[in-house]
Chain A
Amino acid sequence: MIAEHLPALQVVIPLMAAPLCILLHRASGAWFVSLVASWCSFAVAVALLGQVQAGGPISYPLGDWAPPWGIEYRVDMVSAFVLVIVSTIGAVVIPYARASVEREVPSDRAYLFYCMYCLCLTGMLGIAITGDAFNLFVFLEIASLSSYVLVSMGADRRALMAAYRYLIMGTIGATFYIIGVGLLYMMTGTLNMADLAERLPAVAETRTILTALAFLTVGISLKLALFPLHLWLPNAYAFAPSVVTAFLAATATKVAVYALIRIYFTIFGGIDVFETMAVREVLMGLAIVAMFAGSLVAVYQNNVKRMLAYSSIAQIGYMVLGISIASVTGLSGGIIHLFNHALMKGALFLALGCVVLRLGSAHVRDLDGIGRRMPLTMAAFVLGGLSLIGVPLTVGFVSKWTLIQAALERGWWPLAVIILLTSLLAVIYVWRIVEVSYFRPVPEGAADIAEAPASMLVPLWVLAGACVYFGARAEQTVTIARAAAATLLGVSP
C-alpha cells in the first residue's frame, strides 16, 4: 500500500513538515520535525532506488490523472540516483544544523530557517522526480525561493545583497526556462516529458524548437552556475550560514545539472542535439573555460568559503563536460561526479562550518595552526580536499578517471590533458589551506578552542568517510551511473 505511493510521499513528507515547523514556533521542535522529515525522505529515496533497480522505471500518476494529461511522477535510474544524493545530504546535514544554526542564525528566526530548509528539500526532490516540464518549473521555483531566504539569513549584511542578486539571476533563469517550455508547448501541445520526446522529432527542423532549446539551456545554466552565468554563486555561498552553504553546494547545482540532463536526453531524446544543434561545442567550450577560470580564481581567494565556491564552479565544469561528451562513459562520468562532488563539497563545507563555529571566521589569515587545534575537523577537510584533487582511493579519482576514459574513447586526448591540468590547479588551492593549518605555528596568545561538538563531527565524518569508501569501492556507484547513462541514451549498458 505504502510502497506504491512512495513517489508522492517523497515530495509530500518534507512539504508537510514545512508548515508544521511554523506552527511549532520553537527552534528545537522545528529542528526535530525537519530531522524526521529528512530521514523519512532518505528512507523513501533508498526504497525507490531499490524498486527501480529491481523492476525498472516507475510511473506514478498524481491524483490518478492519467499521463500525459495529468502530472506524472517518473522515477527511473537517473532520478532515483539524484533523489538519493539530495536526500542523503539532507539527512546528513540536519543533525549538524542544530549547533551551527544556534550560533549563526538569530534564535527567534531559527524555526523559519528549518521551515525554509524543508521547502528547499521539497523543491529539489520534486525536480528530480517529476516527469512534467511545467511541474519542473514550479519545483525549481520552490527550491530557489527558499534558498534565497536561506542565503539571506547569513549573519553578515552582505548576505542580503548576495541573496538579492541570486534572486534576480535565478528568476531570470526560471523565466527563460518557462519561455522555452512555452515554445515547446506551442509546437507539440504537451508538457509531459515522455510525450514531448515522442512528438519533438517531427518538428525538430523548425526555428521555434531551436529557440526553445536555447532558452532552456540558458535558463538552466543560470541555475547551475555554468560559466559565465556563475556570478551569483561565490557571494551567495560565501555569506550564507555554513549549513546552508554545505546543503546548497552539495545539492542545488546538482539538481540543476540533472534538469539539464533531462532536457537533452529525455525531452530532446529523439533528436541528436549534440550533433545537429551545436550544443556540444557550446557546452564543452564553456565547461573547459569554467574548469580553468574557476580553479584559477579559487587559488587567489582569501576567504576559504569563497575559494570553495569558485572551486564548485570548476567542478560544475567537469559535470557539464561529461554531459557534452554524450557517450555512455562520458555521461556516466558526469552523473557519478554529481554524487561524488556532493560528498566532497558537503564534507569540505561542513568542516568549514565547524571552524566558523569555533573561530567565527573562515579567512585564511585566521587559520594558522588550526590543524593542531581542531585535528578531527581538519583531517576531514584534508580528505575532502584530496577528493577535490582526485587522488586515487578517493571519490574524486573515480569521476576524473571515468571522464578521462570517456575522452580517450572518443579519441579526444587534449580533453584528458585539460582534466589533468585543472586537477593540478586544485592541488595549489587545497595545499594553501593545508600549509596554513598544519605547518604554521598557532598564533601566540590565541584562546584555547575545543573541537567541534559531536553532533557536528559525526555528520562531517560520515561524508568524509563516504569520500574514501566510495572511492575505494567504486563499482557500486559506477554500475548505477552507467545504468543511468545507458537508459538516458537508450542503449543497453
Chain B
Amino acid sequence: MNVLGLYNYWIVVVLMMTGFYVVIAQNNLIKKVVGLNIFQVSVFVFYISMSKVKGGTAPILDPGIQVYGNPLPHVLILTAIVVGVATMALALALVVRIRHAYGTIEEDDIDAQEEEP
C-alpha cells in the first residue's frame, strides 16, 4: 500500500472531515455554511484529481501528444460548482432572514428563544 502515492486522496479526506466536523460542531450559522462549503469543495478536489492521467497533458488535441488527462470530471465539477454557489447564496440569504427574525445567528440562542412560549 503506497500511502504517499495516494496523497491527493488524503487531502480530500482531511478536507472532507474538517468540513463535516465544522458543520456538526459549530454553533454559528455562518460558520456552519463555511464548513458545508469546505465539505463540498473536498469533493470537487476528489473529482479533479482522479481525472489526472500520469504523464498526460491538458486535453487539447495535438498531433505530437499521445496521452491526455480526462476532461469529463472537470466539466462535471463546473456544474457542481454552480450548484455549490447557488446553495451557498441561498444559505447566506436564509441566515440574513434568520438574523432579521431572531436578532442572532447563534443556534443555541435561537433554540432558547423558541423554548420560551
Residue-wise interface mask of A (147-168) relative to B, using a CB-CB cutoff of 8 A (1 in contact, 0 not): 0110010000110110110011
| A138 part of interface (Cβ distance < 8 Å) | yes
The smallest C-beta distance from B7 to any residue of chain A, in angstroms, reads 16
Residue pair B98, A164 in contact (C-beta under 8 Å): yes
Residue-wise interface mask of B (5-39) relative to A, using a CB-CB cutoff of 8 A (1 in contact, 0 not): 00000000000000010010000010010001001
Residues of B within 8 A of A (CB-CB), count: 28
Interchain CA distance A302-B45 in the complex, whole Å: 47
A160 / chain B contacts, CB cutoff of 8 Å: 94, 97-98, 101
B23 / chain A contacts, CB cutoff of 8 Å: 168, 172
Residue pair B102, A152 in contact (C-beta under 8 Å): no
Contact residues, B57-103 vs A (CB, 8 A):
73, 76, 79-80, 83, 86-87, 90-91, 94-95, 97-98, 101-102
| A188 part of interface (Cβ distance < 8 Å) | no
Interchain CA distance A167-B83 in the complex, whole Å: 13
A178 / chain B contacts, CB cutoff of 8 Å: 43, 47, 80
By CB atoms of chain A within 10 A, which of B50, B83, B110, B114 has the most? Answer: B83
The smallest C-beta distance from B38 to any residue of chain A, in angstroms, reads 11
A145 / chain B contacts, CB cutoff of 8 Å: 83, 86-87, 90
| A431 part of interface (Cβ distance < 8 Å) | no
Residue-wise interface mask of A (166-206) relative to B, using a CB-CB cutoff of 8 A (1 in contact, 0 not): 01100110110011001001100001000000000000000
The smallest C-beta distance from B18 to any residue of chain A, in angstroms, reads 14
Residue pair B40, A167 in contact (C-beta under 8 Å): no
| A141 part of interface (Cβ distance < 8 Å) | yes
Residue pair A186, B94 in contact (C-beta under 8 Å): no
| A265 part of interface (Cβ distance < 8 Å) | no
Interchain CA distance A137-B84 in the complex, whole Å: 12
Interchain CA distance A160-B23 in the complex, whole Å: 18
Interface of B, secondary structure class, is: helix
Residue pair B39, A172 in contact (C-beta under 8 Å): yes
The smallest C-beta distance from B33 to any residue of chain A, in angstroms, reads 8
Residue pair A152, B87 in contact (C-beta under 8 Å): no
A171 / chain B contacts, CB cutoff of 8 Å: 36, 40, 87, 91
By CB atoms of chain B within 10 A, which of A149, A158, A164 has the most? Answer: A164
| A96 part of interface (Cβ distance < 8 Å) | no
| A134 part of interface (Cβ distance < 8 Å) | yes
Partner of B40, one of A137, A152, A157, A175: A175
B91 / chain A contacts, CB cutoff of 8 Å: 164, 167-168, 171
Interchain CA distance A186-B95 in the complex, whole Å: 37
Interchain CA distance A168-B22 in the complex, whole Å: 12
The smallest C-beta distance from B112 to any residue of chain A, in angstroms, reads 12
Contact residues, A224-257 vs B (CB, 8 A):
none
Given A158-B114, A167-B87, A175-B39: 7 more A-B contacts, CB < 8 Å: A145-B86, A145-B87, A167-B91, A182-B46, A182-B47, A185-B73, A191-B76
> Taking beta carbons and an 8 Å cutoff, which residues of B are in contact with A?
20, 23, 29, 32, 36, 39-40, 43, 46-47, 50, 73, 76, 79-80, 83, 86-87, 90-91, 94-95, 97-98, 101-102, 110, 114
